[in-house]
Copies of this chain bind each other. A is one copy, B any other.
Amino acid sequence: MKRNYKKEDFPVWNVRRFLEPGPIVLVSSYWKGQRNIMTMGWHTILEFSPSLIGCMITSANYSYELIRKSRACVINLPTVDMIDQVVGIGNCSGADTDKFKKFGLTPVQASTVDVPLIKECYANFECRVVDDHLLPQYNFFILEVLKAQVAVYPKYPRTVHYRGDGVFMVSGKHISMPEKFMPQNL
Query: Residues of A at under 8 Å CB distance from B?
Result: 14, 16-18, 20-23, 41-47, 52, 54-56, 80, 83-84, 87-88, 90-91, 134, 138, 140, 142, 156, 160-182, 185-186
Query: Are A42 and B42 in contact, CB atoms less than 8 angstroms apart?
Result: no
Q: Binding site of A, secondary structure by majority: helix, strand, loop or mixed?
A: mixed
Across the A-B interface, give the 6 residue pairs with the lowest CB-CB distance, nearest first. Answer: A22-B22, A166-B178, A172-B172, A21-B161, A44-B44, A170-B172
| Nearest-neighbor residue (CB-CB) of A171 within chain B | B169
Complex formed: what's the CA distance from A81 to B74 in Å? 36
By the criterion CB–CB under 8 Å, are A169 and B186 in contact? no
12 further A-B contacts with Cβ under 8 Å, apart from A20-B162, A134-B134, A171-B172, are A16-B163, A17-B165, A18-B163, A42-B45, A54-B138, A83-B175, A156-B163, A166-B186, A169-B171, A169-B172, A170-B173, A172-B173
Across-interface contacts of A182 in B (CB, < 8 A): 91
Question: Are B44 and A180 closer than 8 Å at their CB atoms?
Answer: no
Which of B83, B88, B165, B171 interacts with A171 by CB under 8 Å? B171
Residue A178 contacts which of B55, B167, B178 (CB distance < 8 angstroms)? Answer: B167
B91 to A180, Cβ gap below 8 A? yes
